[in-house]
Amino acid sequence: MSIDLDRYFARVGYDGPRDNSVATLRRLHELHPQAIAFENLDPLLKRPVKLDPASLQAKLVGGGRGGYCFEHNSLFAAVLRQLGFGVEEATARVRWSVPEGMTTPRVHCLLFVEAEGEDYLADVGFGGNVLTAPLKLASREEQATPHEPFRLVEDEDGHLVQEAKLGGEWKPLYAFDFAHTHPVDYEMGNWFTSAHPESIFVNGLMGARAEAGKRYALRDNQLAVHTLGRGTEKTTLKSAGELRDALTDLFKLRLDALEGLDPALAALAARPGA
C-alpha cells in the first residue's frame, strides 16, 4: 500500500510542487514536525505500535495522532519515495541526556535522502529537539534550521554525531554511521521501544511539537514551552484534565478511542513535580 499523498499533504499543510527537489524536501521537513506531534500514548497504554503503511496512514495521517521516531520516519520515508527521492534508513545511538561514556542501543532511526545530487540527513522524529530542516551529510559546519543551528561532527570512534546549539552550547543528540539498515532492524528497535518493560516509552509520557519560533515538550506531568531567544517556561500539570488539554491544544492530538487514557493521565498528574 502507498501513502495517500493528498491526505498527507492536507495533514501537514503542504500545497507545493510534488517533485524531488531540495526545496520540496526542506518544506516538508519543516511542516511535518509542526503538524504531527511526537508522542508515545500507545506504548504507555500497552497498545501495539505498527510500522506498515496502512497503520501509519490510519494513525498519523487519518487518525489525528502522532508517534515516535520509527513511526514518523517510516511515514516520511514512504512519502519521499513516492515523490521520487532516494531514501535509505539508518539507526542511531541516543546521546541526549545520557551520561558521558554510556553506550545506548540503536533505538533511534533517521533517514539519508538524496536530492539534486546531494545527500541529506532527514529526521522528523527526535522529540523535543527534532530537526525542522534536513542537514547536508557532507558538511561539518554549523547549519541553520527554522529553529536552532545544528551540525554534524565526527567523534573519536569515527561516528557522526548530530549536535544542536542550545543556550549557546553544542549538545550531542545522537551518534550514527552508515551501516546498512534492514527493515528487521526497525522492527526490533520498534519492539524494544514500545514493549520492553524498562523502556522509557512504556513507563512515562512524552510529547513534543515544534511550531514557528517555539517548541513544546511534555515529560510525564512537566510541560516546557521554549520560545526561541526568550528562554523556557515550565509548568507542572496537576490533573488528568490539564494533561488532556495540553495534549489536544498544544500537541494537536485527537484522543478519542484511547481506552484507559484518563486513569493513566491521572496517575501521571499525581507524580511529584520536578
All domains of the chain, ordered by start, with CATH? 5-184 (3.30.2140.20), 201-269 (3.30.2140.10)
| H-state helical runs in the chain | 5-12, 22-35, 41-44, 53-56, 69-82, 183-195, 200-203, 240-249, 261-269
Is 109 labeled as catalytic in the residue annotation?
A: no
CB within 8 A of 231, min separation 6: which ones?
none
Q: For residues 227-236, give the mean pLDDT.
A: 94
pLDDT for residue 6 is more than 90 = yes
Q: For residues 36-47, give the mean pLDDT.
A: 98
Strand blocks (E) in 95-221: 108-115, 118-122, 135-136, 150-154, 160-166, 169-176, 206-211, 214-219
Name the catalytic one among 29, 32, 72, 108. 108
* Residue, of 76 and 105, whose pLDDT is higher: 76
Name the catalytic one among 32, 42, 69, 226. 69
% of the chain with per-residue pLDDT over 70: 99
**Structure confidence by residue, pLDDT tens digits, 188-217:** 999 999 999 999 999 999 999 999 999 999
- Give the per-residue pLDDT at 257: 82
Q: For residues 173-180, give the mean pLDDT.
A: 96
**CA 137 vs CA 23, 122, 160, 182: distances in Å:** 16, 10, 9, 20
Instruction: Find out whether 12 and 32 touch, Cβ atoms under 8 Å.
Output: yes
% of the chain with per-residue pLDDT over 90: 92
Q: For residues 153-176, give the mean pLDDT.
A: 94
> What's the rounded Cα separation, in Å, for the pair 109 and 184?
13
Q: Give the chain's end-to-end CA distance (angstroms, integer).
A: 44
pLDDT for residue 274 is more than 60 = no
pLDDT for residue 71 is more than 80 = yes
pLDDT for residue 63 is more than 90 = yes
> What's the rounded Cα separation, in Å, for the pair 204 and 255?
17
Could you write out the DSSP letters of every residue in 170-189? EEEEEEE------HHHHHHH
pLDDT classification of 243: cutoffs 50, 70, 90:
very high
**Which bin fits 213, alpha (ψ -120 to 50), beta or left (φ > 0)?**
left
pLDDT for residue 82 is more than 60 = yes
Which cell goes with 208?
Answer: 513534543
> What's the rounded Cα separation, in Å, for the pair 144 and 131?
10
- Give the per-residue pLDDT at 127: 93
> What's the rounded Cα separation, in Å, for the pair 166 and 224?
15
Which cell goes with 10?
Answer: 492536507
pLDDT for residue 3 is more than 80 = yes
- Give the per-residue pLDDT at 273: 65
Q: State the pTM of this model.
A: 0.96
pLDDT classification of 175: cutoffs 50, 70, 90:
very high
Instruction: Find out whether 142 and 165 touch, Cβ atoms under 8 Å.
Output: yes
**Helices 69-82 & 22-35 angle (0-180, nearest 10):** 150
Name the catalytic one among 29, 32, 123, 147. 123
> What's the rounded Cα separation, in Å, for the pair 262 and 244?
8
